Amino acid sequence: MSEQVTDATFDSMVIKSSTPVLVDFWAPWCGPCRGLAPVIDEIAQEYAGRANVYKMNVDDSPMTPGRFGIRAIPTLIVFKNGEIVEQVTGAVGKSNITAMLDKALA
């Protein structure tokens, strides 16, 4: 299962991570976000030890989404060495998400 990241923990858990990180920016009221949640949890299990997968509730932590210009959810961002390497908005398929992570791991 994916872990939660907050405004307070974002830099230490994502920006300073030595492994690639996928962050799912979501909210409980967002239907497509809820539909994507099981896929994100599957990916978290499959990539355990190779990449970190976190979820950020944009209602509880509004500073970080603003920092990265996120205007719609779900938005998925892959970070590597503290930099954005891939970003997609909308409910995308698992293969699209794993391709983003695989590219960051290459």
Q: What is the pLDDT of residues 25-71, one digit of tens each?
A: 999 999 999 999 999 999 999 999 999 999 999 999 999 999 999 99
The catalytic position among 14, 21, 33, 100 is 33
Q: Model's pTM, two decimal places?
A: 0.96
Indicate if 7 belongs to the active site: no
For residues 83 and 89, what is the distance between their CA atoms, to the nearest angstrom? Answer: 17
pLDDT value at residue 2:
80
The catalytic position among 21, 22, 30, 104 is 30
Structural domains present in the chain = 3-105 (3.40.30.10)
Indicate if 33 belongs to the active site: yes
Q: How far is CA 62 from CA 27, 82, 93, in A?
A: 11, 19, 26
Helix boundaries (H) for the chain: 10, 31-46, 63-67, 94-105
Q: What is the dihedral of CA 14, 63, 59, 16, to 10 degrees?
A: 10
105's tokens:
């791991």
